[in-house]
């Protein structure tokens, strides 16, 4: 049987370090902020009818999320912390090499592999130039990452699970209470650096420690608004200066 092998070796072009948000674990976000750089917060939510309960997608999303009260029901919220590299990563050197190579975030070590188990690695979805894919180094065979990369991917997925409650609690503490709806849009906050760092240092364990936080969902799509209203979800106004809103 022929195997589907993907070969790759980073050529140090630095393209993947520019024009994006860099997903971080909670510990990495603390380090990123401590170095004097900004971290954005992306909040998304879903509810049980989003996927069949027995599906792998539901299990994956449930592990990365926490249940919070929203209106007269409960939703599950995922908070993603991401280093701001919208022009370019603040750690990128003039020679396009990583200035914190030994301490770079997990996601930078894993790229171009996918962390999400439901997204297949595709060369045309990646920033890497064609000659990076002409290497002899095998990174993936029949959809399986090579063992070293696989261990990093597992570490990243595990951090998503173990950080989930603290990250949502930090959002509640900072009053970042409006979430987008999964696969519909992204609500992106750019909290002030010192405030976010302080909130991370002060973080209590769970969102239940912030009972005054009134979670709301921002949805602009009329049919989804109707579905969520019928489910007793509290909806936010269709405009806000508190976050940027990107419909997917």
Cα 83 to Cα 8: distance, rounded to the nearest angstrom = 25
Strand partners, 138: 7
CB of 14 or CB of 191, closer to ligand SF4: 14
- Write phi, then psi, for 42 (nearest 5 degrees): -110, 130
CA proximity to 25, closest of 52, 55, 64, 61? 64
Contact flag: residue 111 with ligand SF4 (CB under 6 A): yes
According to CB under 6 A, which residues from 130 to 159 bind ligand SF4? 132
Contact flag: residue 16 with ligand SF4 (CB under 6 A): yes
| Four-point Cα dihedral 235, 239, 244, 248, nearest 10 | 60
Contact flag: residue 79 with ligand SF4 (CB under 6 A): no
CA proximity to 236, closest of 67, 65, 71? 71
Contact flag: residue 110 with ligand SF4 (CB under 6 A): no
Contact flag: residue 15 with ligand SF4 (CB under 6 A): yes
CB of 19 or CB of 52, closer to ligand SF4: 19
Contact flag: residue 85 with ligand SF4 (CB under 6 A): yes
Per-residue CA distances from 47 to 2, 201, 227 (Å) = 41, 30, 11
Contact flag: residue 23 with ligand SF4 (CB under 6 A): no
Contact flag: residue 199 with ligand SF4 (CB under 6 A): no
Contact flag: residue 22 with ligand SF4 (CB under 6 A): yes
Q: Which residues bind ligand SF4 (CB under 6 A)?
A: 10-17, 22, 85, 89, 91-92, 98, 100, 104-105, 108, 111-112, 127-128, 132
């Amino acid at each position: 049987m022929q195997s589907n092998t993907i070969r790759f070796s980073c050529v140090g072009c630095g393209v993947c370090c520019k024009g994006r948000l860099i997903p971080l674990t909670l510990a990495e976000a603390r380090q990123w902020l401590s170095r004097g750089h900004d971290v954005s917060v992306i909040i998304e939510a879903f509810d049980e009818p989003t996927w069949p309960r027995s599906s792998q997608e539901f299990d994956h999303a449930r592990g990365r999320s926490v249940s919070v009260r929203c209106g007269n029901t409960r939703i599950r919220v995922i908070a993603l912390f991401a280093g701001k590299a919208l022009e370019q990563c603040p750690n990128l050197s003039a020679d396009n090499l990583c200035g914190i190579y030994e301490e770079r975030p997990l996601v930078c070590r894993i790229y171009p592999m996918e962390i999400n188990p439901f997204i297949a690695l595709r060369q045309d979805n990646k920033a890497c130039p064609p000659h990076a894919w002409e290497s002899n180094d095998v990174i993936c065979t029949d959809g399986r990452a090579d063992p070293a990369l696989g261990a990093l991917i597992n570490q990243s997925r595990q951090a998503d699970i173990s950080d989930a409650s603290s990250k949502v609690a930090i959002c509640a503490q900072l009053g970042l209470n409006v979430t987008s709806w999964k696969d519909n849009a992204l609500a992106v906050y750019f909290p002030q650096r010192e405030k976010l760092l302080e909130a991370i240092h002060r973080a209590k364990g769970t969102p239940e420690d912030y009972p005054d936080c009134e979670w709301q969902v921002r949805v602009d799509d009329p049919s989804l608004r109707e579905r969520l209203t019928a489910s007793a979800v509290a909806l936010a106004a269709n405009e806000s200066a508190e976050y940027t809103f990107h419909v997917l």
